[in-house]
Amino acid sequence: MALIEIRDVTYKYPFTKKPALHDVNCSIEKGKFYGVIGENGGGKTSLCNLMRGLIPHFYNGELTGIVNIDGTEVRDWNTGELAAKIGYVFQNPFTQISGIKPTVFEEIGMGLENLGMEKEAMIHRILEVSKELDIEDLLQKDPNAMSGGQRQRVAFASILAMDQDIMVIDEPTSQLDPQTTEKVFDIIGQLKNSGKTIILVEHKIDLIARYCDEVILMQGGTIVRQGATADILTDTSIEELGAVVPQTALFGHAMVRAGKSLERIPITVEDAVEQIRKWKEVQA
């Protein structure tokens, strides 16, 4: 059984005429890493809101269709229980800071307090997460007086600390430098390896190619493609749907067009190197 099942869903935000999601169908399997891609305004964040249950619990609007989360219809979930089940990292780190905690240490601990975790376990978890995200030097700082990148890491750490089974992550690296972005993706990769289900919205296609098991491509509020990452990202027709094909895949297609057939079209740099090495061995 799928962990999240979305059937024939159409959704309009309150006071809007055009649906943000239109005839959406998809299923999310347990333990898989999904990358959600597509042009701006394509419905990616709305899909996240739906999977996290903010639609319909927070955004009333008009919702038709069926959304099942872990076998229970989304409308029947208690919002608090949903929060304990699904972690959600928002696009905007400035509003993800609670504003009532004077230090980053307490900010990260806030979700754990709400989950009722004992104090020593809380301290241990905060230190563990801050070490993973390399924010130990920020622990004593005021979260309200930090830069966008620092806030983004703290917001991510605050949700990561809660250790939910499902993580919905909406552009977690939009304000981060390349090095920190790599670190965040490594951590998301580790989460996947520890059995968590991840739904990630991201524009950095090379990182999607490297980490995700499946890709969901959205355009105009609907899912236009869903499938294995390699299948979706090597298909150059996705460019017409507002997505970007990785440079390595374009390179692979160019090789094939030039009569230099590869074992498969690579979507990551590592795979491209491997394919060229194999091709050279065959040539030799």
Partner 1 sequence: MNTQFVDSFRKPQTTGNLLLDMNPLSKLIICFLLGISAIIAQSIPYSFALCILYYFLAAAMGKLRSFSGIFTKIVVMILLFLLVLRQLTVKGDTVLFSIFGWKWTLEAVLVALNVSGYILGFSGAVVLFACATSARDLMYSLEQIGVPHTTSYIILASIQTIADLKKSANTIFESQKARGIEVEGNVFVRAKAFFPIISPLMLGAMSAAEEKSISMDARAFSLETRHTFLRELPKVSAGEKILVGLFLLGFIALIVCKIVL
| Contacts to partner 1 by CB under 8 A | 52, 54, 58, 78-81, 83-84, 87-90, 92, 95-102, 105-106, 109-120, 122-123, 127, 130, 136-137, 139-140, 144, 158-159, 162
Least Å from the CB of residue 282 to partner 1: 51
Beta bridge pairs of residue 223 = 218
| Whole-angstrom distance, CA of residue 43 vs CA of residue 237 | 20
The amino acid that residue 101 corresponds to is: K
- Lookup result for tokens 């524009």: 203
Residues 158-195 as b/e (b if ≥16 CB within 10 A, e otherwise) read bbbbbbbebbbbbbbbbbbeeebbebbbebbbebbeee
| Least distance CB 164 / partner 1 (angstroms) | 9
**Smallest distance, Å, CB 90 to partner 1?**
7
Q: How far is the CB of 76 from partner 1 (least distance, A)?
A: 15
Pick the closer one to partner 1 by CB: 127 or 224: 127
Residue 131 beta carbon to partner 1: minimum distance, rounded to whole angstroms:
8
- When the beta carbons of 28 and 54 are compared against partner 1, the nearer one is 54
Name which of 101 and 210 has its Cβ closer to partner 1.
101
Q: Which is nearer to partner 1, 169 or 243 (CB)?
A: 169
What gap in Å lies between CA 243 and CA 222, rounded to an integer?
14
Q: How many angstroms separate the CA atoms of 19 and 23, rounded?
A: 10
- State the minimum distance, in angstroms, from the CB of residue 57 to partner 1: 8
Between 78 and 236, CB nearer to partner 1: 78
Nearer to partner 1, 73 or 142 (CB): 142
Instruction: Decide the pairing of beta strands 4-12 and 21-28.
Output: antiparallel
74: phi then psi, degrees, rounded to nearest 5: -55, -35
